[in-house]
Amino acid sequence: MDRRDVVQTVIDRRRGRTYLEIGVKKGKLFLQVIARKKIAVDPVLKISRKRKMKSWLRSPFNLFNEYYEMTSDEFFARARQRLERLGGVDVVFIDGLHTHEQSWKDVLNSLRYLSPGGVILMHDCSPGSAAQATPAASREEATERQAVPRAGCWSGDVWKTIVKLRVERDDLRVGVLDCDHGIGVILRGEPERRLSLPGAGVEALGYDDLAANRRELLNLLEPERLGSWLSASPPR
Ligand X SMILES: C[S@@+](CC[C@H](N)C(=O)[O-])C[C@H]1O[C@@H](n2cnc3c(N)ncnc32)[C@H](O)[C@@H]1O
Positions in the binding site for ligand X (CB under 6 A): 3, 21-25, 28-29, 41-44, 71-72, 95-97, 102
Q: Which sign does the torsion angle of CA 57, 92, 183, 174 carry? A: negative
Nearer to ligand X (CB atom), residue 23 or residue 182: 23
Distance CA 183, CA 77 (A): 26
Give the CB-nearest residue to ligand X: 23
Nearer to ligand X (CB atom), residue 71 or residue 110: 71
Query: Among residues 223, 170, 188, which one has the least CA distance to residue 88?
Result: 188
Angle at alpha carbon of residue 131, lines to 163 and 222, rounded to 5°: 45
DSSP 114-145: EEEEEEEEES--S-SSTTTT---SSHHHHHHT
Nearer to ligand X (CB atom), residue 37 or residue 192: 37
Residue 177, Cα to own-chain centre: how many angstroms? Answer: 12
Nearer to ligand X (CB atom), residue 59 or residue 233: 59
Distance CA 236, CA 226 (A): 18
- Shortest separation between residue 153's beta carbon and ligand X, angstroms: 9
- Shortest separation between residue 165's beta carbon and ligand X, angstroms: 19
- Shortest separation between residue 172's beta carbon and ligand X, angstroms: 22
Nearer to ligand X (CB atom), residue 32 or residue 233: 32
- Shortest separation between residue 223's beta carbon and ligand X, angstroms: 17
Residue 147, Cα to own-chain centre: how many angstroms? Answer: 23
- Shortest separation between residue 134's beta carbon and ligand X, angstroms: 15
